[in-house]
Structure 1
Amino acid sequence: MKVTWVRWLLGVFVLTLVGCSTADNEMAGGNLKAVNHTLHAINWFSVNGYRAYGGGGSSCCIVMPIKWRPGLKAYIEWEVDTDQFAYSKWPSDPEGYRLAQLEHKAKYKHYSATVDIPEWQGTDSCGLSVHFLSCNQIKVTTSCWGYGSPNNPIKEPKRMKEPAVCPK
């Protein structure tokens, strides 16, 4: 009973502190979405330490400022599986499967990039969408319009093939 009472008081204290913050420092939670434009599997990704799984759909949550300010950055890390259907070629016995899986996981590739978070007006941010493009390029948007909408700023197609030479 005493622990519950202490937790309740701590919660009230935290809410009081949050209520005293200025508008420029207010933060809010939003969805963290991924759109995979590549032919490879995105096993997981993280944005500024908020981790999500998979290269499509959305995960909860990322915390971002309510009001956009210059200099907002997204530091993105991700893991790529360039042969996501490899398991279909693995042995069916448990030990052979386990060894094949370990060998396959050792081939996963890891990348990171820092990109600017584009400006949004007022409180019109709808979380953060991370677009994984060919050549390990990243674009992010806070648009409330879904991918494929004419109003969404990201226009690159899905299932993009890697060019013979990637731009530097």
Structure 2
Amino acid sequence: MSYLKCSGMCQLIGGLLLLLLAGCSAGESKFLAGNLNAVNHTSAAINHFSVNGYGGGNVSPFGDGGGMCCVMLPRQWLPGLKLKVEWETDPNPNVRLPALGTDAYRAAYAKHKANYQQHSTIVDLPSYETESLCSLKVHFLSCNQIKLTTACMAYGQPGYPIKEPQVMKEPAVCPK
């Protein structure tokens, strides 16, 4: 059965391929993957958000969720690590629109969508000491402020590091 025989060159190539594959699996990834979740402390809807380009879903006013897989963070935390958070808000998520599919709907929706607001900020990545990442939770606070945590517990549980109330009112004037 000649198809089972392999020349010296074939064995050399096969050996090199095995060596390359072994080299790929022997190294440890420099990143950890975790879920990307959000808690919205505001009356605006979060239409969508992202952290360093990793997308999150939408989050209702004063709600939580937006969970997506996955966000990649460095396996080892180092001081000074920053993340870019981008998000879009709908300041009037409870607007009543005409019947879907009509010209009146399209006109009203275009006018409503013109009020959507785009936001972007750079925030510090909070320290974490674990080799496994549960999730990165983004907290959307009043005045377009952001807080992050990698805590492996749910918001509101004892020991959770972010203590702001779920329902926050927008102040008349936001601090700069």
Structure 2 letter corresponding to 1:34: A
Task: Give deviations 1:73-124, integer Å, cap 9, x for gaps.
Answer: 11000000000011x2x22371101111111111100111111011111325
Structure 1 unmatched ranges of 5 or more? 1-9
Rg larger in structure: 2
Equivalent positions of 1:36-47 (< 5 A) are 36-47=40-51
Instruction: Assess, with a 3 A threshold, how the Cα gap between structure 1 residues 115 and 95 changes in structure 2: closer, same or farther.
Output: same
Instruction: Provide the residue aligned with 1:113 in structure 2.
Output: 121
Task: Give deviations 1:121-144, integer Å, cap 9, x for gaps.
Answer: 132532210000000000000011
Equivalent positions of 1:15-164 (< 5 A) are 16-17=23-24, 19-21=26-28, 26-55=30-59, 56-57=64-65, 58-86=67-95, 88=96, 90-92=97-99, 94-164=102-172
Distance 1:96 1:161 in 2: 33
Q: Could you tell me the TM-score, scaled by structure 2's length?
A: 0.79
Q: Could you tell me the TM-score, scaled by structure 1's length?
A: 0.83
Distance 2:111 2:154 in 1: 37
Distance 1:127 1:47 in 2: 12
Structure 2 unmatched ranges of 5 or more? 1-16
Task: Give deviations 1:3-55, integer Å, cap 9, x for gaps.
Answer: xxxxxxx9x9678436325xxx6212110000000111000000001111112
Distance 1:121 1:92 in 2: 52
Instruction: Provide the residue aligned with 2:8 in structure 1.
Output: none
Percent identical pairs in the alignment equals: 49
CA RMSD of aligned residues (A): 2.1
Distance 1:28 1:72 in 2: 15
